[in-house]
A and B are shown apart, each in its own frame.
Chain A
Amino acid sequence: QQPVQSPQAVILREGEDAVINCSSSKALYSVHWYRQKHGEAPVFLMILLKGGEQKGHEKISASFNEKKQQSSLYLTASQLSYSGTYFCGTIPSNTGKLIFGQGTTLQVKP
């Protein structure tokens, strides 16, 4: 039931873009995105509740394709502060419980 994230790791230069994908084998009620820096707690980025919904947060945005049971996180013009591990969390329609993907480690270099 754990959603699958890809890629597992990304290395970028400042200013470059990245896309992190999250897919589930179960029908989804919502998708959450969190970022966790080493040794710190996960920090909430955004929730997508409806199929086709897109949200933005500064230069970080996300989309949710409910039919395909997928979500993507878009990071544009990356900054050093974007470094960390990104987790998607999915709530399958019938459970109400957040299940985290395995994480994607993003490293932004100067």
Chain B
Amino acid sequence: DAMVIQNPRYQVTQFGKPVTLSCSQTLNHNVMYWYQQKSSQAPKLLFHYYDKDFNNEADTPDNFQSRRPNTSFCFLDIRSPGLGDAAMYLCATSRGLAGDPHEQYFGPGTRLTVT
């Protein structure tokens, strides 16, 4: 019955080595989000897709990229991970945005460690 699935749950990568995190959903929601959450902090929005329209937050580093090849899947690419990128990465989905706000459904997250 999993609705938002993230793989892997734990990822270890080396400093500077590209890494890709994946998210899939069975809800057929048109909006998908990527958040970064560091220890004892609130989730911080990196970017989101409304269908195929990509929206980047102004303060999201260029090191972070995203792809959404279809409705169900979304990927987070970190081109050259630094030690400061170690965090929990949360994927979330919702049915809509501003004019029609709905709850966001979160995946279990991927905990990224950078060595």
Contact = CB atoms under 8 A, between A and B. Distances in A.
Judged by DSSP, the binding face of B is loop
Interface string A1-39: 010000000000000000000000000011010000000
A97 interface: yes
Chain B, interface residues (CB within 8 Å), range: 20 to 34
A67 B48 CA distance: 29
Judged by DSSP, the binding face of A is loop
**Chain B CB within 10 Å, residue with most, of A29, A32, A96:** A96
Chain A, interface residues (CB within 8 Å), range: 20 to 34
Given A2-B42, A32-B101, A40-B109, 11 more contacts: A40-B108, A42-B43, A47-B103, A95-B98, A96-B98, A96-B101, A97-B48, A98-B104, A100-B44, A102-B41, A103-B41
Chain A to chain B: the 10 pairs with minimum beta-carbon distance, closest first: A96-B98, A100-B42, A41-B106, A44-B103, A96-B97, A30-B101, A42-B106, A41-B108, A100-B43, A102-B42
